[in-house]
Structure 1
Amino acid sequence: MKARRETDFAYQAVYRYLTRLMAGCSPDESIRLPSLRQLAERLNVSISTIQCAYSLLEKEGRVYSVAKSGYFARAVTSAPSPDDGRDLLETVYVSARWPGMKVLSGDEPASIQPLDSPLLVLERELLRQYPRPSQWLAPPCGEQQLRAAVAARYTTSHRQCWHADDVYVGADLRGVLEILIAVLDLKHATLVVESPCDWVILRLLQSAQVQVIELPLQAAGGLDAQRLEDLLKTRSVALILLSSGLSMPRGSQVPADNRQSIARLLARHGTWVLENDCYSELDEGLDRLRLRDLLDPDRLLVFSCFEKFIGAEAPYGYLLSRQWRTELQRHFLLRSFRLSPIRQKAIARLYDSGRIDQHLESLRRRLREHRTPMVELLRERLGESLQVVEPQGGATLWVRARRPVDMRDVFRRLLKQQVVIAPGELFSLQGLHAQNLRLSPLGLDARDAWGTVGLLADALRLAPLR
């Protein structure tokens, strides 16, 4: 059993364990960490595996060793301040990585149950079968096996069918979207974007000088079809960005009738659609139609990534497109993403073997088991202060203050209590969602959740009105 765990890169599990252990330490004093032997016995791995994890943390400057005394978590003299001149998003990022912080701002659904171990086992098996290819010989748009597996996953009928040549795999989602913006020449073009929208996507569009018009989701989760039609009639809209199924960070589904009316509207106007499919694998309504099932695939682009449901060992982003094949291939070739061919083949095998579906069934269940108690706790303790959108999948909760409080003040108060939240304004470029928060229950046990919700209640009560 021990040999198998080490084959599965057990040092990474030890590394994650130590990271969580240090997160509970006081950031202003050095804390002695368990010895190599203590951890080896506790985690049932070899001393060399523990040493490997400690060495990695030492290189990162997070721990240090003292001869004949062991390892210590490095003390941090001061925590980040919300008033230090940083951009709000930068403050969230920096704070979330600070030792001792309780992070309620993240969105890493696969962290609760990553597929790292089986993925790396497959990779080792493949390394024995395939010679290490030269990077110059690597396919610029991704390994054929992985592209074929993704294409098969998205094919649902003779009309909604995709082929390996329609799939483009890049090092990460951001890189793939940057190529798409360049190929479509979207600089200064107008995009209609479903709102709230992931801040990574919004900032990328902003940096590319794309003109973004935000179309807010309604209370029931649908889009205002009349407002969208007015935009399509009065503005030169190059593209509309919509969720495939699960709209994050709300965690809600667009109602079926609304989705169909939007699809008919887009078809009448011949509008190109860019579908965000990053979260559809986490949607608990498996029998629901995706947006792409209602659209002309020849006027459709789809993007997604593996990391949200496989884990950090699969950071690749991908794009599906039937058009612009020559331009996309050229840009991917010029970008020269350095992707591991063996890792891509291993991901393809997870698909082909059905292991992905088994994993997703379990992951969705575990995410629901973590979300439900937090929803109940928030409604019990903060029902008069917060309205909670019941999520239909994913790892986060979308809440709204019932009175117009200054949510930045709430953020600052919680940061002083070493709690990091994600204010709703991060999910808009136009000042929308200022009364909302995205919260993540992952990484909190029952005691932490109770105490953290209490701190949130105090911050909401003390925050001034807008």
Structure 2
Amino acid sequence: MTDSNRTEPLYLQIADRLARSIRAGTLARGERMPSVRDLARQEGVSQSTVVQAYHWLEDARLIHAKPRSGYFVQSRPEPLPEPKASRPSGRCCSVRVGDLGREVLNLAAQQNMVSFGAACPGPEMFDQERVRRALTRVVTRQRDLLCTYPLGSGREEARRAVARHGLSLGCVLHADDIVMTNGCMESITLCLKTVTQPGDVVALESPTYFGFLEILQSLHLRALEIPTHPRHGISVDALQLALETQDVKAVLVVPTLSNPLGACMPVLERKRLAQLVAAHDIALIEDVIYNDLAEQDDKRRAVKSFDTTGHVMLCGSFNKTLAPGLRLGWVEAGRWSAPLRKIKDVQSGAQTAVLEVALADLLSQAGNEAALRQMRASIAARVDEARGLIAQSFPKGTRVTDPAGGYILWVELPGGLDAVALYEACLAENICIAPGQMFSVSPRFRSFIRLGVGGRWGPEHPAALRRIGALVQALLDAPGLVAA
């Protein structure tokens, strides 16, 4: 039944519940949906409300209509084999990353590129008019903010809005403990500066986001990559062994929809992780930037929700889910809040107050949760389409992840193919991908690529995915292009 306490329209409540049942497999592929009349009677709503819900599910490519037969669950692509869990060497090492990551991001932004290189959603994924109205309200009602120098840890209304958002992560946060930042990457950098010194060891997932490696390099920190499963995330057992045998000063993880794997840690493993870092008295830096994109509620729960000792430093932003152009992040640093705040004041000071107030406005609007549901549905349809194209177009032996949300796919190329050779072949045809070498301090992911499918999407993108598959086959047929 529908929940009268929720603020989104009834049809969205019904559609969301059905969507979760479809993705969980409760409603199987090809299964007939309840008739409009039966579902309306069951839910206690009008038939037009059910029709709206079914149209929403059609737009999300979760169901389809058959003339005179009703609605049926859309067939998803047959599951492809997923990459195996990583097995890094277990040795820490200095971080020396080249310019490949920056090059990929710069190319991904070029208008003439068909891009899968960036891990960010396109502007069509957002309600641009809603963002514009929020900014207009702030500038109209509080125009003095444009001529007032910002000081402190961020506008109180923004910090309160972030604290309320923490409830969706299972956390009880206090506005006074939150520091607003210039994006999630600054939050993570501040955390690392607070709890480490040059030469210290930081444990992190393998593979990991290349931006994290760039931060470690800039701070002269060493990386210890921990075995990570493409569905379940970092191995807590392997991390425990590392903490018992090596002098690790901090752990940096993305428990929900990690980049580039898209892995989500089970809830009990998140609890174990919080207990582990507390027992070893070290900081866990948790990035929750993708949590709102997870399809199931339990996968949005933060490790911080299990933190009873203040050892978890929580970092986030809304650049992936609300308004990338605001470029605002936040951090709740637990027992290290005071020293982090001092570093922030020295490093960059406060953010633009107008943007912070607009963010608070957007987060407080009744339609924010409905917008997130629509985004998750749109992204899920896009990922299904991309995985289907990979299954059809890439050579036998290709492996690809099946993430529980988000818009990143991690693809293992068959035959040990050198991903840089594929990257260069794609660039020659104005297609941008991200080679796996970007995501590790070692060359172990040379036969992997990351595909971001959340950006701008037109008819040229499915065609480009098919072309990438053809290029993989062509390179496999050429001698000397396999990974060492």
Which band: TM-score by shorter chain?
Answer: 0.7 to 0.9
| Counterpart pick for 1:356 among 368, 375, 381 | 368
| Counterpart pick for 2:181 among 167, 170, 184 | 170
- Alignment check: 8 A CA contact 1:248 1:279 kept: no
CA distance in 2, matches of 1:175, 1:101: 28
Residue 271 (structure 1) aligns with: 282
CA apart distance, 1:112: 3.3
Evaluate the alpha carbon distance shift between residue 278 and residue 432 of structure 1 in structure 2; reply closer, same or farther with a 3 A threshold. farther
Counterparts of residues 382-461 of structure 1 (less than 5 Å): 382=394, 384-441=396-453, 442-446=455-459, 448-461=461-474
| Counterpart pick for 1:116 among 112, 118, 128 | 128
> What SS does the corresponding residue of 2:232 show, helix, strand or coil?
coil
CA apart distance, 1:220: 4.3
- Alignment check: 8 A CA contact 2:252 2:286 kept: yes
CA apart distance, 1:261: 4.0
CA distance in 1, matches of 2:273, 2:393: 38
- Alignment check: 8 A CA contact 1:300 1:321 kept: yes
CA distance in 2, matches of 1:257, 1:178: 28
| Counterpart pick for 2:311 among 293, 296, 299 | 299
CA distance in 2, matches of 1:238, 1:385: 39
Counterparts of residues 4-15 of structure 1 (less than 5 Å): none
CA apart distance, 1:265: 3.4
Q: Which amino acid aligns with 1:329?
A: R
Q: RMSD in angstroms over aligned alpha carbons?
A: 2.5
CA apart distance, 1:451: 4.2
Residue 232 (structure 1) aligns with: 243
Ranges in structure 2 where 5+ consecutive residues have no aligned partner: 1-97
Residue 54 (structure 1) aligns with: none
Alignment pair present for 1:369 and 2:397: no
Greater relative contact order (CA < 8 Å, ≥ 6 in sequence):
2
Alignment pair present for 1:216 and 2:233: no
Query: 1:317-374, CA deviations, whole angstroms, 9 ceiling, x for partnerless residues?
Result: 2111232333233223223446321221121122222332121111111111111111
CA apart distance, 1:445: 3.0
CA apart distance, 1:219: 4.7
CA apart distance, 1:260: 4.2
Residue 255 (structure 2) aligns with: 244
CA apart distance, 1:435: 1.9
CA distance in 1, matches of 2:146, 2:137: 19
For normalisation by structure 1, the TM-score amounts to: 0.75
> What SS does the corresponding residue of 1:399 show, helix, strand or coil?
strand
Ranges in structure 1 where 5+ consecutive residues have no aligned partner: 1-85
CA apart distance, 1:255: 3.1
CA apart distance, 1:264: 4.1
- Alignment check: 8 A CA contact 1:422 1:439 kept: yes
- Alignment check: 8 A CA contact 1:151 1:166 kept: no
Q: Which amino acid aligns with 2:119?
A: D
| Counterpart pick for 1:346 among 358, 376, 389 | 358
- Alignment check: 8 A CA contact 1:303 1:317 kept: yes
Larger CA deviation: 273-282 vs 396-405: 396-405
- Alignment check: 8 A CA contact 1:421 1:439 kept: yes
CA distance in 1, matches of 2:134, 2:356: 10
> What SS does the corresponding residue of 1:449 show, helix, strand or coil?
helix
CA distance in 1, matches of 2:265, 2:344: 33
| Counterpart pick for 2:293 among 282, 302, 309 | 282
- Alignment check: 8 A CA contact 1:245 1:291 kept: no
CA apart distance, 1:401: 1.5
CA apart distance, 1:173: 3.0
Evaluate the alpha carbon distance shift between residue 143 and residue 433 of structure 1 in structure 2; reply closer, same or farther with a 3 A threshold. same
CA apart distance, 1:243: 1.6
CA apart distance, 1:429: 1.8
Q: Which amino acid aligns with 1:397?
A: L
Query: 1:39-67, CA deviations, whole angstroms, 9 ceiling, x for partnerless residues?
Result: xxxxxxxxxxxxxxxxxxxxxxxxxxxxx
Larger CA deviation: 200-209 vs 453-462: 453-462
CA apart distance, 1:301: 0.1
CA apart distance, 1:382: 1.8
Evaluate the alpha carbon distance shift between residue 154 and residue 137 of structure 1 in structure 2; reply closer, same or farther with a 3 A threshold. same
CA apart distance, 1:284: 0.8
Residue 265 (structure 2) aligns with: 254
Q: How many residues align?
A: 380
Larger CA deviation: 212-221 vs 234-243: 212-221
Evaluate the alpha carbon distance shift between residue 336 and residue 136 of structure 1 in structure 2; reply closer, same or farther with a 3 A threshold. farther
- Alignment check: 8 A CA contact 1:405 1:460 kept: no
Residue 150 (structure 2) aligns with: 138
Q: Which amino acid aligns with 2:443?
A: G
- Alignment check: 8 A CA contact 2:233 2:255 kept: no
CA apart distance, 1:279: 0.5
Q: Which amino acid aligns with 2:187?
A: V
